[in-house]
């Protein structure tokens, strides 16, 4: 008995032979599908194959599930906020935890029970509910606690340090106390950070002149300038971002400018990338590793486009160096001893006053609990920096996503191995990782067409015959 005899109705009409245009005859002509497979199955296979080709064409990462969204994610954020309110010894953080827990709980109640996929579901009712939940979470975890703390006049020590440094900069030309003794006298930030305290220094203390308002505004503005590279609502609602937005976020403008610099480099705007990264490097030391990563990205991009010249790299490097020099060197020349004491010796633990950055990360645990642990932690930090530099040479990043992920990994290693560090510093690799993983969702018609037909939807990319045709991000 052959395979066709076992099919229902195989003997009916067998004396007439297969009709012209039947599914069996088409399968035989195609030469790809055996005759015993039902006629409808090849069409489904072709549809699945078309969808697979479409996914591969636009990037499978756009269809990955949003694991950090949905009801369970916001519920976990609510628990983290409650833990902060219960365990923290700082008043502003306890206020944030109590208020943010309610915001996250409301977001969990509003959000869909399952995470939505990146694709056609981005435009459905579930995705709309997810966006509303993210807006509620951002408002309840960042905006509302900030307003409450501004009305009460409460903030972390960093806010007072930035405001005082701005007053000193305008009065003496240096934002640093000449002979610091108490912990509040030290300013571990580079001179550019004092800019966020200038409104309070000029117009007095108030809700609108508070440095938190201006650091948050700079963070959101740089985030918006990145275009669709970062989801603003989810980023602002994440606990590691919402907490510093409310209590004192000096790290937020730094990482946002780093993301913007990488984004501009991916667009081929070398001068703009150098300017933005120079501004970030004038705020804090943690932004300095972004400049070599950006230079390697520009070099790889130029080679892939068939341009062997180094003009974009030189333009970015010169612009960044000049920006840092203009913002930092006058302060260094004005009082070099104070600059070294505040910005170099204090963060490294070389002063009599010890920094309060003592989160139980590997570097701090090694430095405080092992004989010779501080030297070992510094050695591991140097080795990790060397390995990251070697990785840039051996496998240079060619896209914004690759550059952001490489920079996030390097900063994660550095912040984990520093003898004095805080969990709040992890906002740098977090935001960079979001930039690396996020992809622009497809329009509804393009996604549905590619998902339901056997023919891939028209590509929005340029023709592949030119050497620079592929998109870089």
How far from 421 is each of 25, 250, 294, 402, 429, CA to CA, in Å? 71, 15, 25, 26, 14
Q: Is residue 405 part of a domain?
A: no
**pLDDT exceeds cutoff 90 at 307:** no
**pLDDT exceeds cutoff 80 at 271:** yes
Using alpha carbons only, give the angle 273, 298, 252 rounded to the nearest 5 degrees.
Answer: 40
Q: Is residue 472 part of a domain?
A: no
Q: Is residue 219 part of a domain?
A: yes
CB-CB neighbours of 6 under 10 Å: 9
Residues contacting 340, CB < 8 A, separation 6+: none
CB-CB neighbours of 382 under 10 Å: 11
Q: Are residues 140 and 239 in the same domain?
A: no
Range of the structural domain that residue 83 is part of = 66-153
Residue with the larger pLDDT of the pair 272 and 472: 272
Q: Is residue 176 part of a domain?
A: yes
Regarding pTM above 0.85, the answer is no
Q: Are residues 301 and 177 in the same domain?
A: yes
Least confident of 268-272, 276-280, 370-374: 370-374
Q: Are residues 207 and 137 in the same domain?
A: no
Instruction: Give percent above pLDDT 70 in the chain.
Output: 73
Residues contacting 131, CB < 8 A, separation 6+: 233
Q: Are residues 182 and 232 in the same domain?
A: yes
pLDDT in the model for residue 209: 94
Residues contacting 382, CB < 8 A, separation 6+: none
Helix H segments across 119-251? 125-138, 144-152, 157-172, 198-203, 211-225, 232-237, 239-247
Gap between the Cα atoms of 48 and 12, Å rounded: 31
Least confident of 30-44, 191-205, 213-227, 326-340: 30-44
Q: Are residues 90 and 166 in the same domain?
A: no
Q: Are residues 76 and 199 in the same domain?
A: no
| Residue where a domain terminates, one of 153, 181, 208 | 153
Q: Is residue 376 part of a domain?
A: no
Q: Is residue 148 part of a domain?
A: yes
Q: Are residues 72 and 208 in the same domain?
A: no
| Residue where a domain terminates, one of 358, 374, 395 | 358
pLDDT in the model for residue 125: 61
* Residue range 39-47: mean pLDDT, rounded: 56
Q: Is residue 101 part of a domain?
A: yes
- Number of C-alpha atoms within 13 angstroms, CB side, residue 346? 25
Q: Which helix (H) or strand (E) holds 380?
A: helix 373-394
Under the phi-then-psi rule, with left for phi > 0, alpha for psi from -120 to 50, and beta for the rest, what region is 444?
alpha
Q: Are residues 216 and 345 in the same domain?
A: yes
pLDDT in tens, 359-395: 788 887 887 888 888 888 888 889 999 999 999 999 9
Gap between the Cα atoms of 140 and 98, Å rounded: 10
CB-CB neighbours of 32 under 10 Å: 10
Q: Are residues 172 and 275 in the same domain?
A: yes
Q: Are residues 123 and 165 in the same domain?
A: no
Q: Are residues 92 and 230 in the same domain?
A: no
Average pLDDT in the chain: 79
Three-state DSSP at 120 gives helix
Q: Are residues 347 and 238 in the same domain?
A: yes
Q: Is residue 184 part of a domain?
A: yes
Residue with the larger pLDDT of the pair 63 and 204: 204
Q: Which of 129, 121, 143 is nearest to 74 (CA)?
A: 129
Name the band, by pLDDT with cuts 50, 70 and 90, for residue 199: very high
Our count of domains for the chain comes to: 2
| Residue where a domain terminates, one of 93, 122, 153 | 153
Helix H segments across 335-372? 336-339, 362-369
């Amino acid at each position: 008995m052959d395979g066709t005899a076992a099919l229902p109705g195989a003997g009916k009409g067998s004396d007439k032979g297969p009709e012209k245009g039947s599914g069996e005859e088409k399968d035989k002509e195609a030469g790809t599908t055996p005759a015993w497979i039902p006629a409808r199955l090849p069409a489904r296979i072709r549809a699945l194959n078309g969808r697979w080709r479409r996914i591969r064409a636009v990037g499978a990462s756009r269809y990955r599930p949003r694991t950090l969204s949905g009801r369970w994610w916001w519920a976990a954020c609510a628990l983290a906020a409650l833990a902060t309110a219960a365990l923290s010894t700082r008043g502003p953080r306890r206020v944030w935890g109590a208020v943010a827990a309610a915001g996250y709980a409301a977001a969990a109640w509003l959000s869909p029970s399952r995470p939505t996929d990146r694709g056609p579901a981005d435009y459905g009712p579930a995705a709309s509910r997810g966006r509303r939940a993210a807006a509620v979470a951002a408002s309840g975890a960042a905006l509302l606690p900030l307003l409450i703390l501004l009305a009460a006049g409460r903030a972390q020590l960093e806010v007072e340090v930035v405001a005082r440094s701005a007053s000193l900069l305008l009065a003496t030309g240096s934002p640093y106390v000449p002979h610091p003794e108490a912990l509040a006298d030290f300013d571990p930030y580079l001179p550019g950070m004092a800019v966020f305290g200038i409104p309070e220094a000029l117009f007095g203390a108030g809700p609108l002149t508070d440095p938190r308002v201006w650091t948050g505004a700079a963070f959101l503005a740089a985030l918006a300038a990145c275009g669709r590279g970062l989801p603003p609502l989810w980023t602002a609602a994440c606990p590691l971002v919402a907490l510093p937005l409310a209590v004192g976020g000096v790290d937020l403008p730094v990482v946002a400018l780093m993301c913007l610099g990488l984004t501009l480099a991916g667009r081929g705007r070398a001068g703009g990338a150098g300017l933005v990264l120079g501004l970030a490097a004038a705020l804090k030391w943690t932004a300095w590793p972004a400049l070599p990563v950006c230079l390697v990205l520009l070099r790889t991009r130029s080679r892939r486009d068939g341009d062997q010249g180094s003009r974009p790299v030189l333009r970015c490097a010169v612009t960044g160096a000049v920006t840092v020099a203009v913002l930092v060197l006058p302060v260094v020349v004005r009082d070099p001893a104070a600059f070294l004491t505040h910005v170099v010796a204090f963060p490294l633990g070389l002063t009599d006053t010890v920094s309060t950055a003592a989160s139980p990360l590997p570097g701090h645990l090694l430095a405080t609990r092992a004989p010779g642990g501080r030297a070992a932690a510094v050695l591991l930090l140097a080795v990790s920096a060397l390995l990251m530099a070697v990785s840039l040479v051996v496998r240079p990043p060619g896209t914004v996503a690759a550059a952001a992920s490489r920079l996030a990994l390097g900063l994660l290693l550095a912040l984990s191995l520093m003898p004095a560090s805080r969990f709040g510093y992890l906002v740098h690799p977090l935001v960079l990782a979001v930039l690396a993983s996020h992809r622009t969702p497809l329009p509804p018609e393009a996604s549905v067409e590619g998902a339901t037909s056997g023919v891939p939807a028209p590509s929005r990319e340029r023709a592949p015959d030119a050497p620079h045709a592929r998109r870089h991000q």
